[in-house]
Amino acid sequence: MTMGAIARRITRVITAVVCVAVSVGVSVATLHVPTREGGGERFNPARYRSDVIADTVINHTTGVDKTQGTGTAGSPYDKKGYFPEAGYTPSDFHAPCSIWTYRDAESVWNCQVSGLQDLDTSSPHVRDVLSDYFVKLLDYGVAGFRVDAVKHMPPEDVLAIKKLVAKKSGRSMNDIWWTQEVIGDNAEAAEIQPRNYLKTGQVNEFQYAYRLKSLFSNSLAGGSLSIKDIPQNITDSGKASVFVTNWDTERNNMTLTYKDGDAYRLANAFMLAYPYGAPNVFSGYEFHDTDSGASGATATSVPDIDCSKDSGWSCTERWPDVHGMVGWHNVAGDAPLSDWQDDGDNMIAFGRGGRAFIAINNSVRTRTVTYHTALPAGEYCDVYASADCSGSVHVRFDGDATLTVPAGSAVAFHIAATPYTVRQ
């Protein structure tokens, strides 16, 4: 496939995604969930639109172990740094060296991660090439970017590149959604910590995902950290993008994955319900070891996603509970956390003002509990259970609701999903 053919395919995919409205934003490898007006479980194109978020790798290129070759789009390269299609020559790369310690920022910024040729992002030419790349993607129709391996570039370089993108595209910096992979580790150099990159955009908050695994594997409210306090001592909500797992952490057993069954589903529900960060729902494929690829993939191609039964693709965003919770998230909007209730262990419940309420049962037995909510009296659909309102919730005039929550499950309802609205 040529570069032109790839560009045309990207444009078609983006056009199809944006024109056929869905309830989650779509990215190369993750589903960004924007806050949107609406949220009834019945699919309504007028209520939802989708955003394509491109996953970009701008710090490095091919490994130095690759003497020379041709990419899948027909572009040649070599280990000296000649990439004519991209416009790079050896002078655009840092001198070869290996990262010798993560306690030294200069080593992390200027040497090769995993043997990959390291671009000199302080170079005006490199910044020009990279900003043109981002602008081209914006012109294709993407809404923003997830930028990989950001801590391997100085913060001022990343900020300068985004400023160029804004200038060239005629957009405000704030109008370009931008989240950055910066894996925080207090044992590493202070200069490469996530807080240093907040001027450019959001950062992926890995600690949130690690904490979710610990909490849902043990006790939600009975340990040293209650899940109610999960944002404690991590990135401020407005600057954090969060996830239950991603394509790296699922392979190293650091986070929950689809293999964890009910706990994984409940963690996604909590992430979409709790008012912290910008949630990203990961959707990928099943894997058997660290290096497993997609079903049917080769060294040069990956087949289109197949969400049919036993296809090997997880298609998390299509699960009824996840889809229902995206609508819940959208209806909750910016309403504050309210009516927190828990049993001191694995049963929690909370609302988002008078808009939405959820009860999560991470225990091994069914629980029937009466909770107080701020929702108006009436009948609501349990959007975690189904999209057709086959499960319903009754809120009494005093705001109380008696909920029977199966083990490893949840009951979730909101003001935009009632038996009446679902019938419309």
The residues that are catalytic are 148, 181
| Contact by Cβ (8 Å): 293, 247 | no
Q: How many CB atoms lie within 10 A of CB 62?
A: 18
**With b meaning 16 or more CB within 10 Å and e meaning fewer, what string describes 341-368?**
bbeeebbbbbbbbbbbbbbbbbbeeebe
| Contact by Cβ (8 Å): 143, 177 | yes
CA distance 404 to 148: 43
Tokens 């007006």 correspond to what residue?
37
- Spell out the alpha helix ranges (H) of 240-319: 262-273
The residue among 107, 71, 64 whose CA lies nearest residue 86 is 71
Compute the half-sphere exposure of residue 362: CA atoms within 13 Å on the CB side of its CA: 30
Q: Nearest-5° angle of CA 121, CA 125, CA 129? A: 85
Compute the half-sphere exposure of residue 143: CA atoms within 13 Å on the CB side of its CA: 17
Give one DSSP letter per residue of 224-261, joined into a string: SS-GGGTTTTS--GGGEEEES--TTGGGTTSS--GGGT
Q: How many CB atoms lie within 10 A of CB 191?
A: 14
